[in-house]
Amino acid sequence: MFADWDVAWGMYAPSPTSIRGGVYHLCVGTYQARNKGDLKAYLDHLGSRLVFLIDWNRARKRLQLLVQRRMRFPC
């Protein structure tokens, strides 16, 4: 999703004491804009990808309900 952008990616693993009951890893991306126009273009792209992920997650959850229902009541 960010192949056209020069984003530097790094992993961040918080200490176990900062997490209650689970372990997770966080991938952090940093983008250094060349100018205001470049920054605006990147933020527009970033916003569009966030909207895509939110919509995809919502659709996935709804499809999951449909699949579970079909498994319970086969046609």
- Condensed to tens digits (0 to 9), the pLDDT of residues 18-63 reads 556 666 667 888 999 999 999 999 999 998 888 887 887 777 777 7
- Cα–Cα distance measured from residue 67 to residue 64, given in angstroms and rounded to the nearest whole number: 5
Q: What is the DSSP letter of 41?
A: H
In a domain, residue 2? The reply is no
Q: Provide the number of structural domains found in the chain.
A: 1
pLDDT at 21: 62
pTM of the model: 0.58
pLDDT at 37: 95
In a domain, residue 45? The reply is yes
Do 6 and 19 form a contact (C-beta atoms < 8 A)? no
pLDDT at 71: 56
In a domain, residue 1? The reply is no
In a domain, residue 22? The reply is yes
Identify the band that residue 3 occupies on the pLDDT scale cut at 50, 70 and 90: confident
In a domain, residue 20? The reply is yes
Residue 42 neighbours by CB distance under 10 Å: 19
User: In which domain, by residue range, is 32 found?
Assistant: 7-72
Q: What is the CA angle 56-61-66, rounded to 5?
A: 120
pLDDT at 17: 59
